[in-house]
A and B are shown apart, each in its own frame.
Chain A
C-alpha cells in the first residue's frame, strides 16, 4: 500500500469514527435539550413549536414544579442516595481490603459469592424482599430503599475497588507493619487515602444508579413523604398532563442534581470504569 492510500484510509477511519460518535451524542443529548427547551414554554408554545426557542422564557414553571412537591421528592432521593453511597462505599472498601490484603480460608470462594450477587436481577427478589420489609416494619421507610440498594450495589462496587486495590504495592502495607501499624490503621491511613480516585468514581456510579432506581422505589414505599424522585415525577406526570411546561420543568429539576454531579466528576467516572475493566 502506498503512503498516500494509507493516509486516505486513516482519514476515512477518522471520519467514520466521528460520524458514529456524533450520532451517539445526538441520540443521548437531544432528549435533554428538548426537555430543557420545553421546560420554559407554555403548553401551547410547546405544541406550536416543539424545537423552537421559547418566545417568552417561563422561569415560573420551575417554581411551580418545585412547589408542587418535587422538592420533597428531591430531598428523599438525596437522603436515599447519600446514605446508600456512604454505606455501600464503607462496606465495599472494607471487603475489598480484606480480599486483597488478608489471607484467610475460602477467600476465593467468598469473592466469587460476592461477585455472584451481581448476576441476580433485583426483580427476582422483589416478592421475598417485600415480605421481609413488611415483617420487619421497614416497609415505607427510607431503609426499605437504602438496604436493598446497598445490597445490589455491593458486588460491582466491591469488584471495582478490589481491582484498584490490587494495584497498590503490597510493600506499602509491609512498610506500615514495620512501622507498627495494625490492619485498621493501615486501612485507614494508607489504603483509604490512596483509593480516593476509585472511591470517587465508584461513589458516582453508585449515586447514578440509586438516583435513577425505580423498581424498589415503586414497590417498597407508598407514602409521599418517602417517595423518591423517579416515582414522584410519575405521579407528577399524571397530575400535570395538562401543563406540559411545568411537567418538563419538574423532570428537568429531577435530573439536574445527578447531571451536575456527573458533569463535575466525569473524569473520575471514566477512570473508575477503565480501572475496573483493565485490571
Chain B
C-alpha cells in the first residue's frame, strides 16, 4: 500500500480554475473522503489523481514518486466510477480480467486473482453473467472487483453509491468499510453525501469552489468545524447558524444572545462585546426547556425522535431534534435551550471559527 502527497494541485480550464491549489497528505492504508457540494472540484481532483485529467499546476506524489506525467495505468491506481463503467459486452469474469489480460498476466495467475476478488465480493455465481443481467449492487461489486484484481497501491472511488437506492447504499457502505479493513488499502473516495463521509472516512477533506475548507477526522470536523460552510455541510440535519450578538465576555468564553437563545461559548479568539457573530448549534444539541421560544411550523415524527422546524422570536429559522414523539400543536409550542459546551461561534464577517 502507498502514501500519497497532493501538493498545491490546480486545474485550469481556459480562464476557469476548477481546482485552485490543494494540499492533502494521505497516509498508507488511510481512507480519505473528499466531500463537497456539486461543482466544488472533487471529481476533477480525483480524475487528476487517476491521470484522466492533466494537472495544470502542482505535484502529485505516490510513494514519493512524481506522477504528474505518468500514464493512468502505470500509477498503480484503480478507480471505481460513478456509473461503474463495466464493459457491457463482457461477462463479469471478463470485466474483472480485462486489466490482467492487457498486462499479459499468466492465465492461471489471472484466474487465481479473479477468484480471490470474486470470493471477497461474493461474486462467485455471477461470473458468467453480463452486466445487464446484474442488479445495481452487484454491478457495484463487479466494479470494485475489477479494481481489486489489479492489486493497486491506491483505490479511487468516484461517488460509487450515488446510483443505488437508500437501503442498498447503506449495505454497500458497510461492505466498503469491511473491504477497507480486509484489504488494508489506501482509498480515496469522493462523495457529496456527508453521511458517507462521516461513516467511512479516517480523514475527511471538505472542498468548496476548488479550495480545501477543512481536513480532519470525521468527529473532529463535526465537533470543531473551521467555518460556517463546514459547520453547515457536515451533520444532518444541518447545524443551525443563527445571527447573534455578544453580550458579555470572560476569559476564553463569550456569552451570546440569538433572539432569546442565550449561551456561553468557549472561544479561541474573544470577540468584542456587542459584536455581531454567528452562533452555530446543531439540532441535536438543543433541548426542550426554559429559554428561547420557537414557533413550530412543521415537524417530522420518526418514532425514536422528532424534528421540529420553526422560527425564533426574530424570525430566524431553527431546527430542533428531540428524543421521542412530540405533537407540537397539542404541546402548545416549544421553548429550547442549548446543551452546555455544544455551541460554536463564528465571525459574523468572515464566517471563521472564533
- What residues make up the interface of A, taking CB atoms closer than 8 Å to B? 169, 171-172, 174-181, 185, 189-190, 193-194
A190, B71: Cα distance in complex, Å: 19
Q: Are B83 and A179 in contact (CB under 8 A)?
A: no
Q: Are A171 and B73 in contact (CB under 8 A)?
A: no
Q: What are 10 A-B residue pairs whose CB atoms fall within 8 Å in the complex?
A: A171-B82, A174-B50, A175-B81, A175-B87, A175-B146, A178-B72, A179-B73, A179-B98, A180-B74, A180-B103
Partner of A178, one of B50, B83, B88: B50
A127, B327: Cα distance in complex, Å: 91
Q: A181-B102, A185-B102 are in contact. Are A175 and B85 (CB under 8 A)?
A: yes
Given contacts A174-B72, A178-B72, A181-B73, 10 further A-B contacts (CB under 8 A): A174-B81, A174-B85, A175-B86, A177-B71, A180-B99, A180-B102, A181-B102, A193-B89, A194-B88, A194-B89
A169 to chain B, nearest CB (A): 6
Is B79 among interface residues, defined by CB-CB distance under 8 A? yes
Residues of B within 8 A of A189 (CB): 98
Residue of A nearest to B97 (CB): A179
A207, B83: Cα distance in complex, Å: 37
A196 to chain B, nearest CB (A): 8
Partner of B85, one of A169, A185, A193, A194: A169
Secondary structure call for the B interface = loop
Is B187 among interface residues, defined by CB-CB distance under 8 A? no
Residues of B within 8 A of A193 (CB): 89
A59, B280: Cα distance in complex, Å: 95
Q: Are B79 and A175 in contact (CB under 8 A)?
A: yes
Residues of B within 8 A of A172 (CB): 85, 87
Partner of A174, one of B52, B74, B87: B52
A194, B85: Cα distance in complex, Å: 13
User: Interface 1/0s, chain B 61-93, versus A by CB < 8 A?
Assistant: 000000000011110011101110111110000
Q: Are A179 and B102 in contact (CB under 8 A)?
A: yes
Residue of B nearest to A196 (CB): B89
A135 to chain B, nearest CB (A): 46
User: Interface 1/0s, chain B 135-171, versus A by CB < 8 A?
Assistant: 0000000000010001000000000000000000000
Residues of B within 8 A of A176 (CB): 87, 98
A169, B73: Cα distance in complex, Å: 19
A174, B79: Cα distance in complex, Å: 10
User: Interface 1/0s, chain B 34-57, versus A by CB < 8 A?
Assistant: 000000000000000011100000
Q: Are A177 and B72 in contact (CB under 8 A)?
A: yes
Residues of A within 8 A of B82 (CB): 171
A193, B103: Cα distance in complex, Å: 21
User: Interface 1/0s, chain B 323-334, versus A by CB < 8 A?
Assistant: 000000000000
A175, B99: Cα distance in complex, Å: 10
A180, B71: Cα distance in complex, Å: 9
A178, B103: Cα distance in complex, Å: 12
Q: Are A171 and B102 in contact (CB under 8 A)?
A: no
Partner of B73, one of A177, A190, A194: A177
B36 to chain A, nearest CB (A): 21
A194, B82: Cα distance in complex, Å: 20
A110 to chain B, nearest CB (A): 22
B352 to chain A, nearest CB (A): 38
Q: Are B89 and A178 in contact (CB under 8 A)?
A: no
Q: Are A171 and B83 in contact (CB under 8 A)?
A: yes
Residue of B nearest to A173 (CB): B85
Residue of B nearest to A168 (CB): B88
Residues of A within 8 A of B83 (CB): 169, 171
A179 to chain B, nearest CB (A): 4
Residues of A within 8 A of B52 (CB): 174, 177-178
Q: Are A179 and B89 in contact (CB under 8 A)?
A: no
